[in-house]
Amino acid sequence: MVENKNVKRRGITLNSPQDARRLIRRIVDRAFEEGSELEHAGRISQLMTNWLKAWDLEKVDDIEAWLLVLETAMEKRSERDRREK
C-alpha cells in the first residue's frame, strides 16, 4: 500500500509563540470590530493570558541567547587573561 505523502493543511499552523500571538491578535481584533468585546470578555481575558505567556517564551529565548553570548565572551576573556600572565 502506498502512503499519501501530501500533507493536508487546514486552518493555521502554530509552530512558534509568535504564530500563537498573531492568531490571538486576529481573534481579539475581530471581537472589537464586531463590538462583542464585552460579551466575550472572559474568552478575551484567557486569550490575552495565553498571548502574554507566548510573549514570555519569546523573551526567555532572547535572554537565553544573550546569556550564551555573554558566557562565551567571558570564557574567551578569561582564557586570554590566563595566557597573558
Report the chain's mean pLDDT, rounded to a whole number.
86
pLDDT at 5: 67
List pLDDT tens digits, range 42-68.
Answer: 999 999 999 899 889 889 988 999 999
Burial pattern 15-41, b for ≥16 Cβ within 10 A else e, equals eebeebbebbeeebeebeeeeeeeebe
- Please tell me the predicted confidence (pLDDT) of residue 70: 95
Mean pLDDT of 7-12: 67
Q: What percent of the chain has a predicted confidence (pLDDT) above 70?
A: 87
Residue-range domain boundaries for the chain: 17-84
85 pLDDT higher than 80: no
